[in-house]
Structure formats: structure tokens, C-alpha cells
Amino acid sequence: MQALSTLPQYSVAIIGGGPAGLMAAEVLSLAGIGITLFDSMPSVGRKFLMAGKGGMNITHAESFEPFLSRYGSRQALLQSHLEQFGPGQLRSWLSTLGIATFVGSSGRVFPEDMKAAPLLRLWLHRLRSAGVKFQVRHRWLGWLDNDPLTLHFAGPNGSVVTSFDAVVLALGGGSWARLGSTGAWIEVFQQRGIATAPLKPSNCGFETPWSDYFKQRFAGHPLKGVKLLFDNRAGEHFEQLGELMLTEEGIEGGLVYALSAPLRDEIIAESSATCYIDLLPNRSVAWLVQQLSAPRAKMSMANYLRKRVNLDGVKSALLREVLSAEDCASVSTLSATIKALPIKLVATRPLDEAISSAGGVVFDELDAQLMLRKLPGIFCAGEMLDWEAPTGGYLLSACFATGMAAGLGVRDWLFSKG
């Protein structure tokens, strides 16, 4: 087997070159600890760069309480990490790299040039200057000989076995496998008796059985200025304004991603989920009834809706997709459907298409510093932990924060050993 060169005293392996792994490397290199960062891909940060296409939304500027609420049932578990390295600290840290940020109209925070590549390039330069070593094309296979600090990799020149004083695992979730997040580590953990929640799509699209005509005519069209509403089986109510995209398979886009967790969980429990789209959020049912009570005369329904309530194009087509001609002739039914058009969702799109994934290492397996209770010296960070969040800077924020927490945890654990 190929052996790696001898590492300095207090040598730490970090497996995974996304923001969580890189932040752990940052913390530990500042402490003077020898770091080797492994990644299965030919270069690090590939999913980070993909997330930055079209604008690098790095975090969010809303106040901390609503910010924390975006992490749903995991907010209490992530709170201390986000308090330690939240949006304000993240922006300050970016400034040390020479990256200025600004707050967009929606509260989202971006680098001034909107790009991920310059940020990553500056960061990697600083890490290399601090002595961090990078071993790419090294796929982690697990632990060897029941020693959690002895790691086994498939390297470019064959099998690699090497030992460290501590390890940070930042292996990602299960989406975008071609960028390195395959979820293959789940089996390795299960073999060690470490509990994991199944990986599930998050911030994902959904499937609905459109008619052939609708798919052919309207797939790829955006649906703007609408509200998505949903009540789950537990009686919880969700609603959000925004826009979505109609696809051949169903719906996707920011508005859908924001409610993807409750929609997905409803489908898992009930085999389907019915959400509702308010096509005219700024108009009341009463106003619609008044406007649509006027005689249609010889106008087509599409032309009538356009002239009377300014509803045309894909919105009008959606009404025809769910209503019969008889329904359209009923002013009360037509008005009610404009305000709550039902969409039956029958499945999520595949995990590999999702922006992120839910599930992963359950927090009961970790101590407060993200070390595995069953494997002292092994820490976990990033999307491989069992949490999820919507897009809007929340995903990256928690990856940075847990990477920082794991790095500090390793530092403190090593130093406590003397």
C-alpha cells in the first residue's frame, strides 16, 4: 500500500473539501496543527462553485430569531454553532479574505462580485500558505482494523492507509453525486453501529400528473407573483409568496423549495400531497366574483379572464388544466379556484437532482462539539449531519458554522490530551 509522508505532531485529517471541511481546516491551521485535507474529486469546492452559479448567496441578513427558525426542528441543535459563527461573523471572516459583501433587497447576502470562484481561490491560497496539504482523488473507504484514526482511501495510485490524531468528516449529503456528495459513507457508518437518518431530497422539485397538452405547451414556463399554500396532516399551515417553474414532471423553483420539507414529509406519510396556488394573491374572492359576474358574451374564456381580472398565459392554462368547462361557467367555483388552485404532488424528484438533502448522522450520536460518542477523535460537520434548511444562504451558513464547531472541537480535544 502507498504511504503518505510523515505529518507534523498533532496531525488531523479532514475528509471533504466543501465549506464545512475548509472551515475546519482554517480553524485548525490557525492553531498550528498539521492538516491534510482529502477529497474524492479532482479539485475541492465543486458543489460550492455550482451553488455560486448565477450569484453566490452566502448567508442571510435577517435578525437571528427568524434566521434560526429556518432550520425547523433542528434549530435548537444548531443554535450554539450559529451563535458562535453566524451571518455577522461569516461576513466579517469574508472581509479578512478581501471579499466585500452586500445585502440584496430580499435580505440575502452576496459577495460584491456575486461570484464563488474568487472567494474559493483566495481561501485555498490562504490555507496552502498556512501549511494545509491537499490530497485530491482520494475516496474514503472507511476505517481500518477497528481503529477509527486509521483511514483507508482509494487513491489515484492505489490503496492508501494512514493514521492521524483526529479526523473531521465533512462528506456532504446525497445530492449532486457527480460533484462528490454520493452519500456512500452512510453504509460505513451503519457498519459501525452509528445511527443515521435516511437521506432524502430537500429543496427539490415535485412530480404531478400534467396532461400531455399542458406538458408540451407550458413546461419551462415560470409562474410569477403567486402564493403557495399547504396544510399538512397535522394541521400545520404553510404559505409563501414567490415564483415557481412548471416542468414536464411537475413544479420546481424557489417557492417550491421553501416548502419542500413539509410537502416531502406529507408524501412519505400519505403517498401524495395537495398544495394550492393563489394565482392572484392581491385580490379577494369577493372582488373576483364581482369582476367575473359580468357577461362573457362571445369572448373565449382565456380572453375573458385576461380582460376582466388580468389573468392570462400560463395562469389561465392552469385553470383549464384543473377545471371542466362546467366549472369555469360557475363564477363561485372559478373565483375560488383562482385563489386556491389545487396541485396534487405524487413524488419528489430524485435525490440526486435536489439542491440539498435531509437526513444524515443523527445528533444523538454526537457530543456538543460534534464528536462521535462511539468514536473519540472523529468529528462530523456540514450537510452530512441530520438537518436541512431552505435556500437563501441558510444551507451555507450552517455548513460554515458546523465546520467551525468541528474544528474548534478537534483543537480542544487534542490540546486536552496534552
334 exposed, middle or buried (CB, 10 Å; 0-12, 13-18, 19+)? buried
**Percentage of the chain with pLDDT > 70?**
98
Does pLDDT of 44 surpass 70?
yes
- What is the structure's pLDDT at 5? 39
Does pLDDT of 6 surpass 70?
no
Taking only the tens place, the pLDDT of each residue in 171-186 is: 999 998 999 999 999 9
- What is the structure's pLDDT at 59? 97
For residue 6, is it within any domain? no
| Residues 172 and 152 grouped into a single domain | yes
The radius of gyration computed from the CA coordinates of the chain, to the nearest angstrom, equals: 25
| Residues 191 and 239 grouped into a single domain | no
**Percentage of the chain with pLDDT > 90?**
89
Reported as a pLDDT band with limits 50, 70 and 90, residue 418 is low
User: Which domain, by its residues, includes 399?
Assistant: 11-197+360-416
Does pLDDT of 7 surpass 50?
no
Reported as a pLDDT band with limits 50, 70 and 90, residue 53 is confident
For residue 151, the 8-state DSSP code is E
| Residues 65 and 141 grouped into a single domain | yes
How many angstroms separate the Cα of 242 from the Cα of each of 67, 141, 252, 280? 19, 43, 12, 12
What residues pair up with 108 in beta bridges, in sequence order?
60
For residue 82, the 8-state DSSP code is H
Please compute the mean of the pLDDT values over residues 241-251 and round it to a whole number: 95
Does pLDDT of 375 surpass 80?
yes
State how far the Cα of 274 lies from the Cα of 230, in Å rounded to an integer: 7
- What is the structure's pLDDT at 1? 34
Largest Cα separation within the chain, whole Å, is: 88
Does pLDDT of 2 surpass 60?
no
| Residues 91 and 190 grouped into a single domain | yes
| Residues 397 and 337 grouped into a single domain | no
Residue 29: phi and psi, rounded to 5, are -65, -35
pTM summary value: 0.92
C-alpha cell at 307: 380582460
For residue 183, is it within any domain? yes
| Residues 337 and 393 grouped into a single domain | no
| Residues 129 and 238 grouped into a single domain | no
Are 333 and 319 within 8 A, CB to CB? Answer: no
State how far the Cα of 17 lies from the Cα of 136, in Å rounded to an integer: 9
Does pLDDT of 417 surpass 90?
no
**Last-in-domain residue among 326, 348, 370:** 348
Q: Which residue is associated with the grid cell 434566521?
A: 67
Please compute the mean of the pLDDT values over residues 15-34 and round it to a whole number: 96
Number of independent structural domains in the chain: 2
For residue 5, is it within any domain? no
- What is the structure's pLDDT at 259? 93
What residues pair up with 59 in beta bridges, in sequence order?
109
Residue 413: phi and psi, rounded to 5, are -65, -45
Nearest to 172 by CA among 412, 407, 373, 402: 402
For residue 181, is it within any domain? yes
Cα 198 to chain centroid, rounded = 15
The three-point CA angle 389-390-395 to 5° equals 55
State how far the Cα of 182 lies from the Cα of 172, in Å rounded to an integer: 8
**Last-in-domain residue among 327, 348, 369:** 348
| Residues 364 and 277 grouped into a single domain | no
| Residues 26 and 166 grouped into a single domain | yes
**Last-in-domain residue among 348, 371, 394:** 348
For residue 292, is it within any domain? yes
| Residues 174 and 321 grouped into a single domain | no
215: left (phi over 0), alpha (psi -120 to 50) or beta: alpha
Reported as a pLDDT band with limits 50, 70 and 90, residue 296 is confident
| Residues 249 and 339 grouped into a single domain | yes
Q: Give start and end residues of each alpha helix (H) in 192-330.
A: 212-218, 254-258, 260-270, 285-292, 301-309, 313-322, 325-329
Taking only the tens place, the pLDDT of each residue in 335-367 is: 999 999 999 999 999 999 999 999 999 999 999
C-alpha cell at 223: 409562474
For residue 353, is it within any domain? no
| Residues 378 and 291 grouped into a single domain | no
- What is the structure's pLDDT at 292? 94
For residue 4, is it within any domain? no
Are 393 and 154 within 8 A, CB to CB? Answer: no
- What is the structure's pLDDT at 225? 93
